Structure 1
């Protein structure tokens, strides 16, 4: 299984990032496609629009958001296919735009992907 890392998409890309995948549903504000230096944009792994709008980065809703998002991921079953498609990557860096690095969906997504056997 690949090593999975997290990084804000606005941080400077590094060769140590490995395979860089944006996991936001919306394109990051103020970032050009050239400067993003992405290998892939995987919108489908992001929270649904409804869940994203409900959460609206309100940290008081973090626990409930995490549970709802984890349920979305389990129901969609996209994670297994994602990992199958990327099994040859030694390292995958999940990129996200959120300013709050402790309460962002990428943390939940990483935990979900690492839990898939």
Structure 2
């Protein structure tokens, strides 16, 4: 199971494996105070894609398409997370204020589709 959670929400026992998926470290969080198992900066959207989005909901569709294309190009970065999600809860942590329009939601959607793909299907295809 894959869930998304803001880094500012308290950690919970049912969070499972907690992964920060932002390129930048969250403001106001010390590295010692944020409970997480891994920080995967390379899974975050590129600076250009992130800056073009600028957290403007009307730009989300273009952001989503561009970010999914980036993810499809680098399956080695996200495939290990599929195994985590198959074994238990995978919590994708993000710092954005908007809980609906953010990179963690796009990544979770992308990973869920990969999990649901038939065995042997070409993983990473842009859908």
Q: TM-score, normalised by structure 2?
A: 0.83
Aligned residues: 114
**Structure 1 segments unaligned to the other structure (5+ residues):** none
More displaced 10-residue stretch of structure 1: 8-17 or 71-80: 71-80
Partner of residue 29, structure 1: 27
Partner of residue 60, structure 2: 62
State the Cα deviation string for residues 57-104 of structure 1 (Å, max 9, x = none).
Answer: 1111011111111111111223224324x3674111000000001110
**Structure 2 segments unaligned to the other structure (5+ residues):** 118-127
Aligned-residue RMSD, C-alpha: 1.4
Partner of residue 7, structure 1: 5
1:79 and 2:86 matched: no
Query: SS where residue 32 of structure 2 aligns?
Result: helix
Contact 1:19 1:89 in 2 (8 A): no
Runs (4 or more) in structure 1 with deviation over 4 Å come to none
Partner of residue 104, structure 1: 102
Partner Cα separation in structure 2 for residue 50 and residue 96 of structure 1: 18
Contact 1:22 1:41 in 2 (8 A): yes
Per the alignment, do residues 14 and 67 of structure 1 end up closer, same or farther by CA in structure 2, a change over 3 Å counting?
same
Q: TM-score, normalised by structure 1?
A: 0.90
